[in-house]
Amino acid sequence: MASKTITPTRMELTRLKGRLKTATRGHKLLKDKRDELMRQFLEIVKRNNELRQKVDEGLSRYSRALAVASAIMSPEIMEEALMYSRQGVELEVTQKNIMSVNVPQYHFRTTSADASDVLPYGYAQTSGELDDALMELSAVFSDMLELAQVEKSMQLMADEIEKTRRRVNALEYVMIPETQEAIRYISMKLEENDLATKVRLMKVKDMVLKDAHDFK
């Protein structure tokens, strides 16, 4: 293949050697990037598992408390109690760069500093179990938000790891071997040309010497 597509000249050989040097350096940098991405990805996976367990446990406590409250209170009173909220949430989304991957960062704050505002009703007709359910949901909210952040980060980093892996493989198994093969081909052709030139020069020399001998 190399003999059909590459001109075996010293200029081309120099160009390919420079290309090989750049590709080798790029291959090392991409491998380092891939390895660091994998390390940070595994840390995020570990944090994701921790958050998933916390959120599942918190939502289970919320569900149990809400189920008890629903059994005690009538649907009408439950609906009326939860119809209006006194507590709001403001969400801000920023980005953090991890190895050229922009992952989201979620920041929230409540519109009221009073923790009791999470309960938007009076206590006369509601049960304590409803209070427990809403407090459990409020407590797990920040973990749910961080879990969403972590899972999105995992998705983005997994995509970047796959892209980097493909680039590493393309360099390692395609570009670098093909360039090395082309360099070997050109070097061989140049050696053949040099040898052929030396043979021609030797023949010319012999002819010149013979002519000079005959002349004498």
Query: How do residues 164-178 score in pLDDT, each as one tens digit?
Result: 999 999 999 999 999
Nearby residues of 41 by Cβ (< 8 Å), 6 or more positions away: 154, 157, 158, 161
CB 120 within 8 A of CB 81: yes
Q: What percent of the chain has pLDDT over 90?
A: 51
CB 51 within 8 A of CB 151: no
Per the listing, tokens 């040099």 go with 194
| Structure confidence by residue, pLDDT tens digits, 78-123 | 877 777 776 777 888 999 998 889 999 988 887 766 656 667 666 6
Per the listing, tokens 């891939």 go with 34
Report the predicted TM-score, pTM, of the whole model to 2 decimal places: 0.75
Question: Cα torsion at 174, 175, 181, 187 (round to 10°)?
Answer: 180
* Architecture of the domain delimited by 2-209: Orthogonal Bundle (1.10)
Report how far residue 55's alpha carbon sits from residue 28's, in angstroms, rounded to the nearest whole number: 40
Question: At 2, is the pLDDT very low, low, confident or very high (cuts 50, 70, 90)?
Answer: very low
Question: At 30, is the pLDDT very low, low, confident or very high (cuts 50, 70, 90)?
Answer: very high
Number of alpha carbons in the 13 Å side-chain half-sphere of residue 142: 6
Report how far residue 36's alpha carbon sits from residue 28's, in angstroms, rounded to the nearest whole number: 12
Mean pLDDT check: name the lowest of 5-19, 62-76, 133-147, 195-209.
195-209
CB 19 within 8 A of CB 179: yes
